[in-house]
Structure 1
Amino acid sequence: ARSGHELRFCYEAGPCGYGIQRQIAAAGHECIVVAPSLIPKKPGDRIKTDRRDANDLAKLHRAGELTAVWVPNQAHEAIRDLVRARLAAVRTLRKAR
């Protein structure tokens, strides 16, 4: 960004996690993560392509119509991963019995 210009980013939550958001925020820019279910869609708009989704996200973000999800810090995310791993291990153990 040139001096005096502000960059704002957004992306759909997905398998890449929150690492991208943390990197962009560390660079000093605004970045929000949006749940796919919270993105307004036009009725009958069923075609899903990356280019179309990116254009729609940019327009909606510029208009302020996106709802951001809460981004956990790294410690909270690590605890969530640990809890999920424990639950998966318990399920596997029960299934093996």
Structure 2
Amino acid sequence: MGGISELAQQLLRFFPEATLHSAYEAGFSGYVLHRVLKLHGIDNIVVHAAAVEVSAHSRVKTDKRDAQKLASQLEAGRLRGIRVPTPEQEQRRLLSRTRSQLVQQRSAVQNQIRMKAHQFGLIAPEDRRQMSHKLVAELLERSPAEAFRFVVEVHWQVWEFK
């Protein structure tokens, strides 16, 4: 947070008499920047990326073009901010979203093991058995090649770890 705070302080030093307005697209970096800017008295909004107007002729995305679009739309008052969750709400979301991601990753690993077994003829296409640790052990026992065993064991370890 130190670098973000320094950024806000520098903006205030460069423009001491100005009312500062800023906007950025919501993304992976979360809302720390928003909170720090607001804390320093800078009017900031976080916008949904899809809500930023795009010219029909300008399909190329670059950081410079995106920044110019945000600045011009902010100046024209055409940007609407999203609701920024509190730090507590963000923490609560973290648990449920992480669990959901892990479940998806586990399913992906199970599907990868199943595809490898199909590839080597160890599971018939119509086989609808639930992928289980018992089934993986059975596939490894019947494995025709060391490379197959290695790949499935690596996937299995990822699955078990999650």
For normalisation by structure 1, the TM-score amounts to: 0.86
Query: Which of 13, 16, 24 does residue 37 from structure 2 map onto?
Result: 24
- Offset at residue 88 of structure 1 (A): 3.4
Counterpart in the other structure of 2:88: 75
Secondary structure of 1:32's aligned partner: strand
The residue aligned with 1:2 is 16
1:64 equivalent among 77, 84, 99: 77
CA distance in 2: counterparts of 1:6 and 1:72, whole angstroms: 24
**Higher RCO structure, 1 or 2 (CA under 8 Å, sep 6+):** 1
Q: Which has the higher helix share?
A: 2
* 2-structure distance, mates of 1:66, 1:2: 25
Aligned partners of 1:22 and 1:60: how far apart in 2?
21
* Identity of matched residues, %: 34
CA contact (8 A) 1:39 1:67 kept: no
Partner of 2:54: 41
Q: CA deviation at 1:56?
A: 1.2
Cα RMSD, aligned residues only: 1.9
Counterpart in the other structure of 1:14? 27
Matched letter for residue 80 of structure 2: T
Q: For 1:40, what is the secondary structure of its paired residue?
A: coil
What is the TM-score of this pair, normalised by structure 2?
0.54
Whole-Å separation in 2 of the counterparts to 1:87 and 1:10? 30
- Structure 2 unaligned runs (5+)? 1-14, 111-130, 133-162
SS at match of 2:80: coil
Q: Higher strand share goes to which structure?
A: 1
How many residues end up aligned between the 2 structures?
A: 96
Give the deviation of 1:33 after TM superposition. 0.6
Query: Aligned partners of 2:80 and 2:54: how far apart in 1?
Result: 13
SS at match of 1:31: strand
Which residue of structure 2 lines up, in the alignment, with residue 54 of structure 1? 67
